[in-house]
Amino acid sequence: MKKLMFLVSLIFLLGQLSAKAQNYNKIMGKAIKKAIGDDLKGYQVFSYPTNNFGLITSYEGTVSDYNFLCDMWNCIGVDNPTNVTEDWLRLNDFAAIGVGGTINLTESKQKKVAIKVVLPKIYDIVGISGGLKKEKTSEISINIGKAYLRKLRRDPIVTYINGLDGSAAMKRAYNNGTLVLAVADCVLEDLAVTVKVDDQTEAELDAKIGISGTSSATKIFQDASLSVEVAKNTNGTFSFKVSHPVIFARLIRHQPSGGTLSKNEDFSDWPIVKPNSDPTIILP
């Protein structure tokens, strides 16, 4: 009986997460497509924007944590990537970049994206107990910078992989014909949320930032995937800013055969690969 109840609870939870992911994808997918003027069909959308795991991120055979080989900068042998936005976007000139417009959302859609995706992740990073509750927030606004579409340049990555030692995991997968590679991604320039919170949440945020009363202060919080600057503007109103570019979605393809990357510059002869964990986060 306990096992059955657990399974029912798990199915319900997965259904809730799937519904949120689909809603987020629908809103952001349309807005970004309008801004960049390109098709994102087949792109995997992250459950929240992240500053890693975009272009060049590699797996072996399938897309899962168990088959992960390396992330973007690590794949090309860079341990300490630059913080300069333009250089970060170019990814040591492996990335061809297309610049789109600013992402515009209606007020109602801003609130949906902020409440369902962005603020829960930010609150988790900051360490607010109980997470985000809709009734504890008001006057929510979200600003998203320009959208960039990056595509992997074929010749540089072919040259790089061919130059790897045969013992390197990426080279072994390449030789075996099992290399799975992020060949394109969609990057958001920056992300900022302003929200008015209730007294309890204000007190928790004040304590996290290290201030009291109506005084203002700023503090940076981060985890493995995101860095957030938190600032108190006026009494009860806070702003959360992710000033580093973040990845919204990526396109992952499977190497067609061993020892070769692609006949086509855009890797269109590679089959698209869906992640094992949640196929609902693939844009239709």
More confident residue, 132 or 114: 114
pLDDT category of residue 276 using cuts at 50, 70 and 90? low
More confident residue, 80 or 13: 80
pLDDT category of residue 5 using cuts at 50, 70 and 90? very low
Check residue 168 and give its pLDDT. 92
For residue 68, give its domain range. Answer: 2-281
| pLDDT of 111 strictly over 60 | yes
pLDDT category of residue 225 using cuts at 50, 70 and 90? confident
- How many domains does the structure of the chain reveal? 1
Mean pLDDT of the chain: 81
Q: Is the pTM of this model over 0.75?
A: yes
Decide: 270 and 262 in contact? Cβ < 8 Å.
Answer: yes
More confident residue, 235 or 212: 235
Check residue 277 and give its pLDDT. 53
